[in-house]
Structure 1
Amino acid sequence: MSESIAVRVDPSNERMLEAWDGALWAKRAQRIDDGVAAYRETFFAAAGIQPSDKVLDVGCGAGQTTRDAARLATAGSALGVDLSSEMLGLARRLAEQERVPNVAFEQMDAQVHPFPEAGFDVVISRHGSMFFGTPLAAFTSLARATRPGGRLVLLTWQPLRLNEWITTFRTIFAAGREVPSSNLALSDPLETEELLTSAGYADVRSTAVNKPMYFGRDVDDAAEFIVEQHGGRLSDLDDPTRAKAVEALRADLAEHQTSRGVFYDSAAWLIEARRP
């Protein structure tokens, strides 16, 4: 059952609320976590969470990173925030099942939510900070919520051309049409440094991290997941063209099958900053 509540959302983020607040993402939450699991150790090493820290996890989804943070902050706490009521409902259930008592989850738009000033020692976000409608306003809010000396640690994607999985799936699902060429937010280190510095952070640095990304046990499993996630791009095509695109996807997945499952190369930025 959804645990949706009335949530204040900036107009620039209304499309994100509509996109993320659905059952599909919660249904596939474990696969999404498994997909980027190779980044976990690097991400949390950079976060450097201490036992007494108060942690804010932005765009927490089903809360895997929030629960992991809470386990490190044994005498502190972790708050996960997201727009998706479905994902947050799952996050709460998993925290209860896993017996993680010092964690909480709230549905909110971090861009406009009045966080307590200097209320958090560490702010983290694993691929959840790239979707703000007005990034400067959002990170200004997060900087205000970070205590002096506190840390910001983000994981974002590098440019599209460096992410094999994105470019491959976009090309296949374009099915001969023009491939979308939109840029990914926070994929340019210089722009990210300027943004975060303007928002109130300092000592901004971006480190390239490249890890294999998992998509399924085998071709059938991976194809089902990917078509479910991205197949909407085929909805306006006729049946033969759509079938041909899925066939091309399966052929490409077969080329990426390993003994451990289907993997594609991915490239991320580990972004670190400090609140002066």
Structure 2
Amino acid sequence: MTGGGAAAPVDPSNRRQADSWDGPGGDFWTANADRFDEGVAAYRAPFRAAAAIGETAHVLDVGCGTGQTTRDAARAASSGSALGVDLSAGMVELARRRAEFEGVPNVSFEQADAQVHRFPDGAADIAISRHGAMFFGDPVAAFTNIGRALRPDGRLVLLTWQPFDQQEWLSSFVTVLADGGPVPVPPSDAPSPFALSDPGRVRGILDAAGFTDVQLDGVRESMYIGPDTEDALRFVAGQQAGMLDELGPGRRARALEALRADLDRHRGDRGVVYDSAAWLVRARRR
């Protein structure tokens, strides 16, 4: 497995993302790695089916986080390999530890900005990303670079969110926590969870980056937030700490009570769950 070392170069357009993912944002994800994986667990089987990784494949996992998808890929490519890259040193280190603990020998991880990292040309058969490819400052440059890492006719498979208004989980949280104020909708044309939510924009980016046969298929699954209301409240309050910090004490207390009530309304036999919707994006390098 790849060891540590100096952080790789970051493109200036990605500096703010790097400061977040290799800072407080990444720290929160690392500390809650299991919860994040559990949250999107319903997408795990559709994503693996779309990737259809063969036994001898060499896989690049972009924005791999703490590495669940990279380890899944390595197990499928039992006579091949899987490399996961992410901006977060903390998540990459946890990914390494988990791969070692789980006994996955053909996987490696690097802290890297996939927009500028010098991947070996044509070494990968497939590039994948589960909710990790929406944060590039220059997505055309990023996917062009990822394309260089693929062999000719190599495949790209992404899981990306559909538009904000299709995400009951996030739209509910930020509406409640806005406490009657403006709801902060993440942009769909700039680095954000929804930067690859518009099919036309996705096709335009991938076409400009040298991909063809772009296909988007919608998938709707439940998002798991927590086993009970209080646990879910702690998790969401931590995830949305920035919004809460902007409220005064009185508004903060009111917003948290409203969030608790909303989470409780979504509590059932499986715990607290909300609706969500994603795109499975498939393409080939020209």
* Aligned twin of 2:20: 19
After superposition, residues 9-48 of structure 1 pair within 5 angstroms as: 9-22=10-23, 23-48=27-52
Which of these residues, 56, 63, 66, is aligned with residue 59 of structure 1? Answer: 63
After superposition, residues 130-209 of structure 1 pair within 5 angstroms as: 130-181=134-185, 182-183=187-188, 184-209=194-219
For the residues of structure 2 that align with 1:177 and 1:18, how far apart are their CA atoms?
28
* Aligned twin of 1:252: 262
CA contact (8 A) 1:4 1:85 kept: no
Deviation at 1:231, TM superposition (A): 2.1
2:206 corresponds to which letter in structure 1? L
Greater shift, 100-109 or 21-30, is seen at: 21-30
CA contact (8 A) 1:173 1:231 kept: no
For the residues of structure 2 that align with 1:75 and 1:25, how far apart are their CA atoms?
31
Whether 1:7 aligns to 2:8 is: yes
Per-residue CA distance 1:203-238 (angstroms, 9 max, x = gap): 001101000000000001100000011122111221
Greater shift, 84-93 or 233-242, is seen at: 233-242
For the residues of structure 2 that align with 1:62 and 1:147, how far apart are their CA atoms?
26
* Aligned twin of 1:116: 120
Deviation at 1:25, TM superposition (A): 1.4
1:234 corresponds to which letter in structure 2? L
CA contact (8 A) 2:40 2:224 kept: yes
Q: How many residues align?
A: 274
For the residues of structure 1 that align with 2:262 and 2:247, how far apart are their CA atoms?
20
Which of these residues, 221, 231, 234, is aligned with residue 231 of structure 2? Answer: 221
Deviation at 1:28, TM superposition (A): 0.5
SS of 2:240's partner is helix
SS of 1:128's partner is coil
SS of 2:246's partner is coil
Per-residue CA distance 1:116-152 (angstroms, 9 max, x = gap): 1111001000000000010000000011111112110
Q: TM-score, normalised by structure 1?
A: 0.97
Q: TM-score, normalised by structure 2?
A: 0.94
Following superposition, which runs of at least 4 residues in structure 1 exceed 3 angstroms of deviation? Answer: none
Per-residue CA distance 1:80-100 (angstroms, 9 max, x = gap): 000000001100000000000
Share of identical aligned residues, percent? 57
For the residues of structure 2 that align with 1:94 and 1:234, how far apart are their CA atoms?
32
CA contact (8 A) 2:8 2:117 kept: no
User: What is the CA RMSD across the aligned residues, in angstroms?
Assistant: 1.0
List alignment gaps of at least 5 residues for structure 1: none
For the residues of structure 2 that align with 1:154 and 1:71, how far apart are their CA atoms?
19
Deviation at 1:7, TM superposition (A): 2.3
Whether 1:102 aligns to 2:112 is: no
For the residues of structure 2 that align with 1:238 and 1:4, how far apart are their CA atoms?
42
List alignment gaps of at least 5 residues for structure 2: 189-193
CA contact (8 A) 2:154 2:285 kept: yes
1:13 corresponds to which letter in structure 2? N
For the residues of structure 2 that align with 1:236 and 1:189, how far apart are their CA atoms?
33
Per-residue CA distance 1:63-122 (angstroms, 9 max, x = gap): 000001000000000000000000011000000000000000000000001111111001
2:260 corresponds to which letter in structure 1? R
For the residues of structure 2 that align with 1:89 and 1:115, how far apart are their CA atoms?
20
SS of 2:19's partner is helix
CA contact (8 A) 1:153 1:273 kept: yes
Deviation at 1:4, TM superposition (A): 7.0
